Amino acid sequence: MSYGVVKGIAESSFVPSKIPNGCTPIHLNLVARHGTRSPTKKRIKELDNLATHLEVLLREAEEQNLSLEKLPGWLKGWKSPWKGKLKGGELIIQGEDELYDIGIRTRARFPNLFNDDYHPDVYAIKATQVPRASASAVAFGLGLFSGKGSLGPGRHRAFAVISESRASDTKLRFHDCCQNYKAFKKSQEPAVDKLKEPVYDEITSALRRRYRLNFTRQDTTSLWFLCKQEASLLNIVDQACALLSPSEVSLLEWTDDLEAFILKGYGKSINYRMGVPLLEDVVQSMEQAIKAEEEFEKIQREQALPHPPKPPQKRNWRGHTVAPFGGNNMLVLYSCPANTSNKHFVQVLHNEHPIPMPERIVAPHLKHDYNSVCDVKLEQQEQKPVAILLITKQLLCLAGTGVHGEMDVIHSVLCGFYVGKT
């Protein structure tokens, strides 16, 4: 889902901690997904196959003289909007705007953090080698430093974007380097599909009755993907999405959330433990900013978490709000007056909205080593990540993968460390 749609959605069931009086921000970390992108090459082929199969279904229905009066006109002769594209997955203009605007708002929100003259060691921008991620980093930087340079009428400035090799990027592409995670994901995908099957079978049967076409489960899968792409990329909600009832949309969203929760979210600990290098990097950057080591108490061990409840029950884990295109997490370090109870305060924001975060939650996870989590065969393991952006006054990072919804994993890295322990 596009960032503009979910940015205004703020969870109202909790009240975040207030920033103590007199505290001023001295350091910022931001982790975000790449902006809105076009469908990947694999998904473009899937939509082409859907168009071909729809032609077959319509021809069969006509040969059987079935009444198709309830069938929407757009389905007859429909072709994928991305038909003929040889490549996909690139950042589109909408995605550029999303990250550019986040950059502008970030500087406007924390102006004092960006008063220093630009230097790559002070404002370090890092991106994975995925093109849409590095393009998002550039768009973000253009917004962040707009008016700060001398290039062109917009007074832009040049800035560095650094990338690690895909094969060794354990901070931003840890899922690619984590063999145990890959094995876990492969082993769990069939079970996840089994959990989703009853919903897809139910909706497929309903579509058959409603439109008198012999839809398959794959058709339903592709139509649901088309609905999401039309809504987020083309602002079209009266075609594929209109084929489904509101209750069917809710159920399909739940299947997406269920899959992301198990394979990418904090449903399994490997999903966030493999992100320990990123967590260490964030923590160390804050420690360097305050030039002091902090000691955190150990907290109770994790307990297994239930799957997201099925509609109509309410649930907190919603993939479209956790990790939309451009979705982001910020950790803002504040320096507080000497007469306050704590010298420093950390504020956490998700999609630019303050959220609560329990204290003393990091140390128990830093005891895990990336190599032991990812390279040693353990009995239970898990997940896969994201296209992300991490910024900080001393660290800006943008990462990306070819996986749809990849930001779920990074959100789990920063949020999953405390879920189940408080």
Q: What is the structure's pLDDT at 389?
A: 37
Residue 406's pLDDT band (cuts 50, 70, 90): very low
Q: What is the structure's pLDDT at 279?
A: 86
Residues of the chain with pLDDT > 70, as a percent, come to 75
Q: 9-13, 167-171, 378-382: which has the highest mean pLDDT?
A: 167-171
Residue 295's pLDDT band (cuts 50, 70, 90): very low
Measured between alpha carbons, how far is residue 128 from residues 92, 176, 351 in Å?
18, 11, 21
Mean pLDDT of 27-54: 94
| C-alpha closest to that of 25 among 317, 377, 394, 406 | 394
Q: What is the structure's pLDDT at 268?
A: 85
Least confident segment among 60-74, 98-112, 208-222, 321-335? 321-335
Straight-line distance from the first to the last Cα atom of the chain, in angstroms, rounded to the nearest whole number: 30
Least confident segment among 7-21, 54-68, 243-257? 7-21
pLDDT over 50 at 296, yes or no = no
C-alpha 328: how far from its chain's center?
8
361 vs 335, higher pLDDT: 335
pLDDT over 60 at 421, yes or no = no
Residue 31's pLDDT band (cuts 50, 70, 90): confident
pLDDT over 90 at 312, yes or no = no
> What's the token pair of residue 235?
């602002």
CB 397 within 8 A of CB 31: yes
Least confident segment among 65-79, 172-186, 207-221, 369-383? 369-383
> What's the token pair of residue 358?
């329990």
Least confident segment among 147-151, 353-357, 411-415? 411-415
Q: How wide is the angle at C-alpha 62 spanned by C-alphas 56 and 63, nearest 5°?
A: 90
Backbone dihedral region for residue 257 (phi beyond 0: left; psi -120 to 50: alpha; all else: beta): alpha
Residue range 314-324, pLDDT digits in tens: 656 566 666 67
Q: How many CB atoms lie within 10 A of CB 399?
A: 35
Contacts of 180 (CB under 8 A, 6+ apart): 270, 274, 373, 374, 375, 376, 377, 378, 381
DSSP-assigned letters across all residues of 32-99: E----BPPPHHHHHHHHHHHHHHHHHHHHHHHTT---TTS-GGGTT---TTTT-S---PBPHHHHHHH
Q: What is the structure's pLDDT at 320?
A: 62
- Helices 246-263, 179-211: axis angle to 10 degrees equals 170
177 vs 369, higher pLDDT: 177
Chain position carrying tokens 């929760």 = 261
- For the entire predicted model, the pTM comes to 0.75
CB 336 within 8 A of CB 17: no
Architecture of domain 3-36+91-180+268-415: 3-Layer(aba) Sandwich (3.40)
Q: What is the structure's pLDDT at 9?
A: 57
333 vs 191, higher pLDDT: 191
Q: What is the structure's pLDDT at 290?
A: 73
How does strand 24-32 pair with strand 328-335? antiparallel
DSSP-assigned letters across all residues of 239-280: STGGGS-HHHHHHHHHHHHHHHHHHTSTTSTHHHHTTHHHHH
Sign of CA dihedral 417, 98, 81, 318: positive
Residue 57's pLDDT band (cuts 50, 70, 90): very high
387 vs 306, higher pLDDT: 306
184 vs 400, higher pLDDT: 184
Residue 215's pLDDT band (cuts 50, 70, 90): very high
- Phi and psi angles of residue 372, each rounded to the nearest 5 degrees, phi first: -70, -35
Helix ranges, 212-233 (H): 217-229
DSSP-assigned letters across all residues of 188-238: HHHHHHHHHHHHHHHHHHHHHHHH-S---HHHHHHHHHHHHHIIIII---S
pLDDT over 80 at 419, yes or no = no
Q: How wide is the angle at C-alpha 270 spanned by C-alphas 265 and 276, nearest 5°?
A: 95
Q: What is the structure's pLDDT at 315?
A: 59
Give the whole-angstrom CA distance, residue 302 versus residue 418. 9
- Phi and psi angles of residue 261, each rounded to the nearest 5 degrees, phi first: -65, -45
Mean pLDDT of the chain: 80
| Burial class of residue 300 in the structure, from the number of CB atoms within 10 Å of its CB (0-12 exposed, 13-18 middle, 19+ buried) | exposed
415 vs 259, higher pLDDT: 259
Q: What is the structure's pLDDT at 383?
A: 39
DSSP-assigned letters across all residues of 169-191: -TTT-HHHH-HHHHHHHHHHHHH
CB 407 within 8 A of CB 295: no
Q: What is the structure's pLDDT at 35?
A: 94
**Residue 345 β-bridge partners:** 334
Q: What is the structure's pLDDT at 287?
A: 84
Mean pLDDT of 263-281: 87
Query: What ranges do the domains of the chain cover?
Result: 3-36+91-180+268-415, 41-88+185-261
DSSP-assigned letters across all residues of 273-314: HTTHHHHHHHHHHHHHHHTS-------PPP---PPPPPTTS-
pLDDT over 90 at 187, yes or no = yes
CB 399 within 8 A of CB 418: no
Q: What is the structure's pLDDT at 174?
A: 87
CB 106 within 8 A of CB 20: no
Mean pLDDT of 406-419: 44
